Amino acid sequence: MLRSLAPLHNPANSVGIREALRLLPSLPQIAVFDTAFHQTMPPEAFLYAVPYGLYEQHGLRRYGFHGSSHRFVAQGAAERLGRALGSLQLVTAHLGNGCSACAIRHGQSVDTSMGLTPLEGLVMGTRSGDIDPNVFTFLAERTGASLEQTTRLLNHGSGLFGLSGVDSDMRGVLALEAQQHARAHLAVLVFCRRLAKTILGLCAGLDRLDALVFTGGIGENAARIRDLTIERLSILGLKLDRDLNAEHGASAGGRITALGSASPAFVVPTNEELIIAREALACLATHEPE
């Protein structure tokens, strides 16, 4: 079950757990799930419009991922704004080989882009993100692809790699785009349009937008991606400061928007390992060995 929910991550994670148990059987094992942060989503956000019994009997619902990162950078944005996290309404965008965005209201996740598995949502390194579910039938009829083959294609052969045809790493895609590579340019445009569309959709769970936060390898380092995305968010009144964006907000506490922007946008480096360590420490503190 866990393998099917996150086929790029869980098989390797389970190997690590089994080996740790074999080599260090007396060592406490603590699993920190990045789905936990999203357990505050309301039913209207986590339910799919499928027969309700599938949720009741099989847990078919949206779970979300990258919760540790979204939680960490939301607190980072609060510190930069000089306000309590509980008073803020934010959208955070974790952009790396895996990508997700999250609407955070008063410190709690109220919606996110990933779903039952990390395949849903944004365009990623090798994952397609949102796609018509009937693609499985379409490819079966047109190419004879099995369910397993199409699932593998959408997880391992799509996203930036599928669109560009050459690279799943945004650094490589941007380098090719700068050399006038047409499909790399197309991959960048699709990535940014999907991201902007998702950010706008997440705002449906908020009353206002106090800040937009970029994090992850792409979010922290790809100025062009932030530029093209904010360009598509003009309806929110966001105004990019291109000089600040070029330096990733280094001289303005991470801020990359102009002072006249309706809401600020920040670059906030994530630290998922620190959140995991803190959660593990808290768990050990409340479960002292007998």
Active site residues: 34
Residues whose CB falls within 8 Å of the CB of residue 33, separated by 6 or more in sequence, listed in order? 67
Helix (H) or strand (E) holding 93: strand 89-95
Q: How many residues does the chain have?
A: 290
DSSP string, 52-75: HHHHHHH--S-----HHHHHHHHH
CA-to-CA distance for 52 and 179, rounded, in angstroms? 50
- Crossing angle (nearest 10°) for helices 67-81 and 272-286: 100
CA-to-CA distance for 10 and 2, rounded, in angstroms? 6
Tokens in use for 175? 């380098």
SS3 90: strand
Helices (H), the chain: 2-5, 10-23, 43-46, 52-58, 67-81, 135-143, 147-156, 159-164, 170-178, 182-202, 216-221, 223-231, 242-246, 272-286
